[in-house]
Amino acid sequence: MEMIIGGAYQGKTEYAKKEYPDLIWGEGSSLSREELFAAEGVLNFHEFIRREIKAGREVSDLAEALIRKNPKVVLVSQEVGYGVVPIDAFDRKYREAVGRVCTRLAAYSHKVTRVACGIGMVIKND
């Protein structure tokens, strides 16, 4: 598994597509759980988490399920949770869930790259 993370509008998608020009990318804002488990690469993975929470589905098992069913996937996800704790309860839950899921996935991933200003910085490479 591999992760490409970073803030919004930092060129993560472009970076990912450049790194992996032959990969077929799924879109986190529209794919189903089954499609996620079958995807080669996923863009906007955080949007998938948001949709699951919004639909009232539990995400605490998501990381383990993904590791089991799709251990070679490349995930592109926005880093959230770098601002003041939001007043809205859903926003608080969402940003923390993204963090927990991605922390588990990053521990499993052999490579994690953080993109800022379009530049990728490899922060883990086992």
Contact residues: other proteins, CB under 8 A: 3, 5, 7, 79-85, 89, 92, 95-100, 102-103, 105-107, 112, 114, 123-124
- Whose Cβ is closer to other proteins: residue 36's or residue 105's? 105
Least spacing, CB of residue 70 vs other proteins, in Å:
18
- Whose Cβ is closer to other proteins: residue 41's or residue 78's? 78
70 closest CA partner among 15, 2, 12: 2
Least spacing, CB of residue 66 vs other proteins, in Å:
14
Encoding tokens for residue 33? 């759980």
Output the DSSP codes for 14-52.
HHHHHH-TTPPEEETTT--HHHHHH-SEEE-HHHHHHHH
- Whose Cβ is closer to other proteins: residue 31's or residue 59's? 59
- Whose Cβ is closer to other proteins: residue 43's or residue 105's? 105
Contact 96, 111 (CB under 8 A): no
Least spacing, CB of residue 59 vs other proteins, in Å:
12
96 closest CA partner among 80, 115, 111: 80
Least spacing, CB of residue 22 vs other proteins, in Å:
26
Residue with token string 């590791």: 67
